[in-house]
Amino acid sequence: MDQEQLLKLFDEKNAKHEGHFLLSSGLHSATYLQTALILQYPDITEKISKALIQKLKGLKIDCVAAPAVGGLVIGYEIARQLGVRFIFTERVDGKMIFRRGFEVQPGEKVLVADSVITTGGSPFEVSQLLKQLGAETVGIVVVVDRSGGTFRPNGIPVISLMEITVETFTPNDCPLCQQKIPLVKPGSRK
């Protein structure tokens, strides 16, 4: 699967939306790619994961970690195909933490998985938590990188199936707000 095939899937599954959206990053956008509408199909998720794994050649991976909710499905399927365990973080009082007994060991090599990045806030928080716990983030893998190449945290490789540049706006500079187009919040972060 390549970028063109993935973009076609977004169209076929009505997962590419136009309007005025509040992204998890706090930015606004006229375009929203709802990966959950694609990842709801196990066969498609399997193919996307397989294509992403092909891009991970040479990385030693002991575990896959993902931020809930956006990275759960893709992270789990990547871990399943790699034959490694899968854990996830949750946001509690605005802070990303491991709960439910999930742990990492010092020196453990962890791949962080998410569905989409714009600013990369959630995967970066997961990688920072892993670092605090003594584990090593060996890569960040996402279905869609819409950061425009700006998200490259501390030399950690960012691997995606699709890179797309979609214009984003701060709330104060948003022309969609100025046009009074209703703001929709489709993302996963409260």
Q: Which domains does the chain have, with CATH numbers?
A: 3-178 (3.40.50.2020)
**Greatest pairwise CA separation for the chain in angstroms:** 51
Distance separating alpha carbons of residues 186 and 100, to the nearest angstrom: 26
What contacts 185, CB < 8 A, 6 or more positions away?
A: 21, 22
Sequence-distant (6+) residues with CB within 8 A of 30 are 18, 19, 20, 21, 166, 167, 176
Task: Report residue 151's pLDDT band, with 50, 70 and 90 as the boundaries.
Answer: confident
How do beta strands 95-98 and 85-92 pair? antiparallel
51-79, pLDDT tens digit by residue?
999 999 889 999 999 998 889 999 999 99
Q: Which residues contact 72 (CB under 8 A, 6 or more apart)?
A: 66, 88
Q: In the prediction, which pLDDT does 78 show?
A: 98
Is residue 9 very low, low, confident or very high in pLDDT (cuts 50, 70, 90)?
very high
Distance CA 14, CA 100 (A): 34
Per-residue pLDDT band for 188 (boundaries 50, 70, 90) equals low
pLDDT tens track for 95-146 = 998 999 899 999 999 999 999 887 778 999 999 999 999 999 999 999 999 8
On whether the CB atoms of residues 78 and 53 are closer than 8 A, the answer is: yes
pLDDT for res 187: 64
pLDDT above 80: residue 148: no
Res 149 pLDDT > 80: no
| Whether residue 189 has pLDDT greater than 60 | no
Q: What is the pLDDT of residue 190?
A: 45
Output the pLDDT for position 57: 86
Q: Tens digits of per-residue pLDDT, 19-56? A: 999 987 788 999 988 999 999 999 999 999 999 999 99
CA distance 30 to 21: 6
